Amino acid sequence: MVQTPQVTAEQEAVAIRRGLPWWRLLLRDPLALMAALWLALLCVCVMVGPELFGKEATTLNLRARNLPPGSTEQGWLMILGSDALGRSMLARLIVATRNTISIALTSVLLAMIIGGFLGLIAGYIGRGVGNLIMRLSDIVQSFPSLLLAVVVLYMLEPRVGNLVIVLAITRIPSYLRVTRAEVLEIRERVFVDASRALGGSRTHILVRHIAPVVAPTLLTILTVDFAIVMLAESGLSFLGIGIQPPEITWGLMVAQGRNYLSQAWWLAFFPGLAIMFATLSANILSNWLRIVTDPVQRWRLEAPKVGNA
């Protein structure tokens, strides 16, 4: 038996620190809380927006044309102004949320999953397969992404599905490179050796040890890519090969409002603001998530805030 004094002393050694549940941590961080709430609001808009405000977003109302923000005579919906056809900006923004978010989110998720997967393979297995994957990625990356999108969408129809795929393809290389770089570093770590020595197969190590360490980084890239994709989509829509009216996205609204910046600045401003807030929230929340899911860093959020000694 192990000597008793040893066990007794061990009892003081590890501090009994109960971890806080994640929602408590969220409540303690006002910035992350606001970001989460904003994103929750966007989710609501995605789910019920077009059903609730669809009519107001499409009905023409020539008496309410080009109203600047703050005008409430025609109803509270015109609080953000209206466009040349009298449609409420607010309503259009809400309705556009669904398309915007779903296109952007689907593209970046697709890119992350495919890029991450290929990066894991390239990094861990390496050699021939890895080289092939990296060269393919280099080829994709060497095309200007907009040009690639234009070419592809011109040849195929500019349907939402194709749009998503094209956007995803242009984003894959960044996930791939980062994943591969991280995998190259992690696979040299001792705990990976330990798993191999236990008899762990490559799949086991990739899934259990390597992917969880790589995931947070990919998540961070995802939130940054979110904005990039939204703006790319707006560029394509502006060129007429992205979203086709009457479908609407924030990007398309920005594109459409560009020409009226001096007369009706609110046409492009508010959609742009919406894009900014969405990506900012996603960024803040992903930073917070990264810390929460890392057991080593989590204490930063859990410890009571003390003033300077």
Partner 1 sequence: MAADRTLGGRNAGDPILEVRGLVKHFHIGGGFPFGRQAAVIRAVDDVSFDLRRGETLGLVGESGCGKSTVARTLLRLEEPTAGQALFHGRDIFTAGERELKEIRRRIQVIFQDPYASLNPRLRVEQIVSEPWVIHPDVLPRRDWPDRVRELLESVGLRREHAERYPHEFSGGQRQRIGIARAMALNPEILVCDEPVSALDVSVQAQVVNLLEEIQQRFGIAYIFIAHDLSVVRHMSHRVAVMYLGRIVELGAKEQVYARPRHPYTKALLSAQPAIDFSGERKNQRIILKGEVPSPANPPSGCRFRSRCWKAQATCAGTPPPLAEGPDSGHRAACYFPEGAAARV
Partner 2 sequence: MPDGATPLLEVADLRIEFRSGRETVYAVNGAGFSVEPGETAAILGESGSGKSVTASAVMRLLQCPPAAITGGAIRFKGDDVLAMPLGQWRRRCGREIAMVFQDALASLNPVFTVGWQIAELFRAHGEQSGKAAEGRAVELLARVGIPDPVNRARDYPHQFSGGMRQRVMIAMAIALGPDLLIADEPTTALDVTVQAQIMDLLQDLQREIGMAMVLITHDLGVVADVADHVAVMYAGRVVERGTVRDVLGRPAHPYTRALLDSVPQLQGNSSVLRPIVGSPPDMAAMPAGCAFHPRCRFATGECRSVPPPQVAVAPGRIAECHHAERVFHGG
In the complex, the residues that contact partner 2 under the rule CB under 8 A are: 3, 5-6, 8-10, 12-13, 303, 306-309
Nearest distance, CB of residue 185 and partner 1, angstroms: 12
Nearest distance, CB of residue 124 and partner 1, angstroms: 15
Nearest distance, CB of residue 295 and partner 2, angstroms: 18
In the bound state with partner 2, the residue whose beta carbon lies nearer, of 23 and 299, is 299
In the bound state with partner 1, the residue whose beta carbon lies nearer, of 13 and 62, is 13
Residue 199 contacts which entry, partner 2, partner 1, none (Cβ below 5-8 A, type-dependent): partner 1
List residues near partner 1 by CB under 8 A.
2, 6-7, 10-11, 13-17, 189-191, 193-201, 204, 208-209, 212-213, 294-296
Nearest distance, CB of residue 287 and partner 2, angstroms: 19
In the bound state with partner 2, the residue whose beta carbon lies nearer, of 13 and 155, is 13
Residue 12 contacts which entry, partner 2, partner 1, none (Cβ below 5-8 A, type-dependent): partner 2
Residue 2 contacts which entry, partner 1, partner 2, none (Cβ below 5-8 A, type-dependent): partner 1
Nearest distance, CB of residue 192 and partner 1, angstroms: 8
In the bound state with partner 1, the residue whose beta carbon lies nearer, of 166 and 289, is 289
| Three-state secondary structure of the chain | CCCHHHHHHHHHHCCCCCCCCHHHHHHHCHHHHHHHHHHHHHHHHHHHHHHHHHHHHHCCCHHHCCCCCCCCCCCHHHHHCECCCCCEHHHHHHHHHHHHHHHHHHHHHHHHHHHHHHHHHHHHCCHHHHHHHHHHHHHHHHCCHHHHHHHHHHHCCCCHHHHHHHHHHHHHHHHHHHHHHHHHHHCCCHHHHHHHHHCCCHHHHHHHHHHHHHHHHHHHHHHHHHHHHHHHHHHHHHCCCCCCCCCCCHHHHHHHHHHHCCCCCHHHHHHHHHHHHHHHHHHHHHHHHHHHHCCCCCHHHHCCCCCCC
Collect contacts of 39-46 with beta carbons under 8 A, ≥24 apart. Answer: 39/278, 39/281, 39/282, 39/285, 42/97, 42/101, 42/278, 42/281, 45/94, 45/97, 45/98, 46/97, 46/98, 46/101, 46/102
In the bound state with partner 2, the residue whose beta carbon lies nearer, of 8 and 262, is 8
Residue 306 contacts which entry, partner 2, partner 1, none (Cβ below 5-8 A, type-dependent): partner 2
Nearest distance, CB of residue 25 and partner 2, angstroms: 17
Nearest distance, CB of residue 304 and partner 2, angstroms: 9
In the bound state with partner 1, the residue whose beta carbon lies nearer, of 42 and 210, is 210
In the bound state with partner 1, the residue whose beta carbon lies nearer, of 159 and 189, is 189
Residue 208 contacts which entry, partner 1, partner 2, none (Cβ below 5-8 A, type-dependent): partner 1
